Structure formats: C-alpha cells, structure tokens
Amino acid sequence: MTADTTTAISVVLAASRYVLLDFDGPVCAIFAGRAAPLVARELTVALKSYGVSVPDEALSRGDPLDVLRFASRASETLVADIERALQAAELAAVDTALPTPGAADFLDACRQTGRTVAIVSNNSAPAITRYLDRGGIAALVAHIEGRIPASPDLMKPHPLLLQRAIHALDASTEVAMLVGDSTTDFEAAQAIGVRGIGYANKRGKAEALARAGAAAVVHNMTELSRVVADIPAP
C-alpha cells in the first residue's frame, strides 16, 4: 500500500465511527462453491417455466441479481417467485462461500477501535446471518441490511439500503464510511454523501472504483485492517 493510499484511508477512518460493509467481496465470495452463473441459469429456467424468456443481456454477467432485476420488470408475481428461489440459492451458497482473507481481522480491528459495523448488501439478510453465524463473527456485526425482498430496484446503487442501515445504527452520514467492491456501492454512497474505501479483488477494478468515488482503494482486507487498528474511532 502506498503512503498516499494510507493517508487517504486514514482521513476517512479518522472521521468514521460507523462502517457500512458490503458483503459479497469484502466479507466473502458467496458464490465461490456454487457458481453464480449456474444459479443465474437455474433462475432463468424457472422463469422459462412461466413462459418468460430471458434476454441475453440479463445473463451476460452471470449474476443472479440481474435475473431478479429482469423478473421484477416482467411481472410482480414472478419476481416474488424468483426472489424465493434466489434466497434459497443464497442460503445454500453460504455453506460453500469463501471467506475473504483479512475480513475477520477487519471486523476485529473495527471492534477494537470503537467502530460499529453494519453489513449492507444486495444479498438477502437470512443468507448473511447464516454466514456470520457459521463463521463465528456475528458478534462483530451490529446490524444486517439485506435487499428488500422482491424489490431489486431498491438494491444498490439505490442508496436506500445504506440509509436504512445508518438509521438502524442511529448514526449519520458524516460519521459513516463504506467499504465495498462494486461501483454501485460507491454510486449509492455518493448519493447520500458517505465516503468510502474500495476493495479491488480483480484486475482493473481499482480504477473503476476510484472513478466511482472511492476515496482510496485497497487490494487486501488484511492491509486495510492494519490501518484501521492504528486509528481510534472519533
């Protein structure tokens, strides 16, 4: 990590008593053992059984959440069914999710320095709860804000989930920060004036996250946790 990056992270941390932490990426790879494109295809098959064909662009990223978005535009009844199927797939996926190295250290460092963490995710809350319980890290997370069932339009980049988490923590945007690995995390944060640190786990992501508004970008949650450990919450 460069000195400039450490400085930029330190500035954000020095103002932040609350951490809004994305789940898929900074905490774990939820679909590591059960490939996301496979789940997306299963949801597509479910849609086809209702006579709805799914355009290629809804599948191009292999992201099950894209299929949910598509279903919500197709029909209200369908989106409820696809939501149920996706929630079941996410719950199953948690058992083979791959923990992000340094994620538990990061949560620990937040606790040690007096910071309160909420997970804010487009994944469903029951799956996140199950993951944290299985990993023995549930006590390090004060609040879980998962997607609102069958309302994919309210997922990030919409800022509502961040706003709900801030409200649940009795926090405010001035003393909150976000850690996320998607441009949509930063679009949501920017919309309500919350600063954030990007976690770039793939090539090319760092530039995209910086463009989307990340104050700094790290490639490693362990490194980030070391910086956190040195800076007490305000």
Interface residues with Mg ion (CB under 5 A) are 22, 24-25, 181-182
Tokens coding 194? 């919350």
Among residues 150 and 200, whose Cβ is nearest to Mg ion?
200
In the complex, least distance from residue 61 CB atom to Mg ion, rounded to whole angstroms: 13
Q: Are 198 and 206 a contacting pair, CB within 8 Å? A: yes
Tokens coding 108? 């620990």
DSSP state, residue 55: P
In the complex, least distance from residue 78 CB atom to Mg ion, rounded to whole angstroms: 25
Task: Give the β-pairing of 98-99 and 28-29.
Answer: antiparallel
In the complex, least distance from residue 25 CB atom to Mg ion, rounded to whole angstroms: 3
Among residues 47 and 94, whose Cβ is nearest to Mg ion?
94
Helix, strand, coil share of the chain (percent; to 5): 55, 15, 35
In the complex, least distance from residue 22 CB atom to Mg ion, rounded to whole angstroms: 4
Among residues 25 and 146, whose Cβ is nearest to Mg ion?
25
Among residues 5 and 182, whose Cβ is nearest to Mg ion?
182
Q: Are 116 and 171 a contacting pair, CB within 8 Å? A: yes
Distance from chain centroid for Cα 37: 18
Among residues 25 and 130, whose Cβ is nearest to Mg ion?
25
| CA–CA distance, 206 with 229 (Å, rounded to integer) | 23
Task: State the CB neighbour count (10 A cutoff) for residue 69.
Answer: 17
In the complex, least distance from residue 34 CB atom to Mg ion, rounded to whole angstroms: 17
